């Protein structure tokens, strides 16, 4: 967890403006932009259990006043002539065209949902899930947790080093066990380079997760490692289409019939 208030103070000392990406924060902890002192704050709706394709950009009024609109369209102008164009007052100046009405309603409902539960009620619960996940995964032989900061969000990133198995393979095999994780560089390749790994597996926890789900993740990882060890102990099998050691499951539902056009 970055000390964004301290970072903002240091940036302002040298005249810099500060924009904070709070997408990974707002669904887990209370946010007060006035206390932080930043100039802009942004977050996405789907990280807040809301719709995709919508988000929020908060900014200081005086800064938005100085900025020109980034696109044109309905409702963002006040007057248009061949000689001069004047723009609408905030926030309309930056909201050209028909807004994402349905997305805004959905995002509002998501915010109301979080507020109805109360951060004070689920913050300790998420912290407990993170501790349980860290302990459970750290006890798996061959697994190395990447990122062990004292203050961190509800994510556990890890790699399988002994035996080395790619993060994508682990993620795919966990999927076949009914467990969803993220794999890859997570849109932060410079961090991956600094950590000395090409990719990680990332398990995230939120207020809807349970300890039982974390236990299922640990059991599935041990099963994957044990299966690999058992295969290596056997004689090499002839190459076949099933050499990866797992099969894609059949569809859960029947395919729709094609329309018969007369």
In angstroms, the CA 204 to CA 125 distance is 14
Domain edges within the chain:
4-117, 120-233
Can you name the CATH fold of 120-233? 3.90.1150
In angstroms, the CA 128 to CA 133 distance is 9
In the residue annotation, 188 being an active-site residue is answered as: no
Instruction: Choose among 44, 179, 186: nearest CA to 103.
Output: 44
Residue-level pLDDT at 166: 94
The number of residues making up the chain comes to 262
Residue-level pLDDT at 233: 76
- For residues 162-178, give the mean pLDDT: 93
Q: Where are the extended beta strands (E) located within 139-199?
A: 143-146, 155-161, 164-165, 182-184
- For residues 24-35, give the mean pLDDT: 95
Name which residue leads in pLDDT, 257 or 185: 185
Domains 4-117 and 120-233 share a fold: no
pTM of the predicted model, to two decimals?
Answer: 0.81
Can you name the CATH fold of 4-117? 3.40.640
Q: What is the pLDDT of residues 64-76, one digit of tens each?
A: 999 999 999 999 9
Rounded to whole angstroms, the maximal C-alpha distance in the chain is 83
64 pairs with which residues across the strands?
none
Of these residues, 14, 187, 235, 252, which one is catalytic?
A: 187
Residue-level pLDDT at 251: 55
Phi (first) and psi of residue 261, to 5 degrees:
-95, 125
Position of tokens 């102008």? Answer: 77
Residue-level pLDDT at 181: 96
Q: What is the pLDDT of residues 120-133, one digit of tens each?
A: 999 999 999 999 99
User: pLDDT tier at 230 (50, 70, 90 boundaries)?
Assistant: confident
In angstroms, the CA 181 to CA 251 distance is 21
From residue 229, how far is each of 50, 54, 224 by CA, in Å? 42, 46, 9
């Amino acid at each position: 967890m970055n000390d964004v208030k301290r970072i903002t103070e240091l940036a302002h000392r040298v005249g810099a403006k500060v924009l904070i990406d709070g997408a990974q924060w707002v669904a887990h902890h209370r946010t007060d932009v006035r206390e932080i002192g930043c100039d802009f704050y942004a977050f996405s709706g789907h990280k807040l259990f809301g719709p995709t394709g919508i988000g929020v950009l908060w900014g200081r009024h005086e800064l938005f006043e100085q900025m020109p609109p980034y696109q044109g369209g309905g409702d963002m102008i006040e007057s248009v002539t061949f000689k001069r164009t004047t723009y609408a007052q905030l926030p309309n100046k930056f909201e050209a065209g028909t807004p994402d009405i349905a997305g805004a309603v959905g995002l509002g409902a998501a915010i109301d949902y979080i507020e109805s539960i109360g951060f004070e009620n689920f913050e300790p619960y998420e912290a407990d899930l993170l501790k349980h996940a860290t302990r459970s995964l750290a006890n798996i032989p061959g697994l190395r947790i990447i990122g062990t900061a004292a203050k961190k969000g509800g994510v556990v990133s890890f790699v399988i080093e002994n035996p080395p198995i790619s993060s994508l393979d682990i993620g795919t095999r966990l999927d076949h066990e009914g467990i969803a994780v993220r794999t890859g560089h997570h849109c932060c390749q410079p961090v991956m380079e600094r950590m000395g790994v090409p990719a990680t597996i990332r398990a995230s926890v939120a207020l809807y997760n349970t300890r039982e789900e974390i236990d299922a993740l640990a059991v599935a990882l041990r099963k994957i490692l044990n299966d690999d060890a058992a295969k290596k102990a056997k004689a090499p099998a002839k190459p076949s289409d099933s050499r990866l050691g797992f099969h894609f499951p059949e569809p859960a539902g029947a395919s729709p019939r094609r329309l018969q056009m007369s």
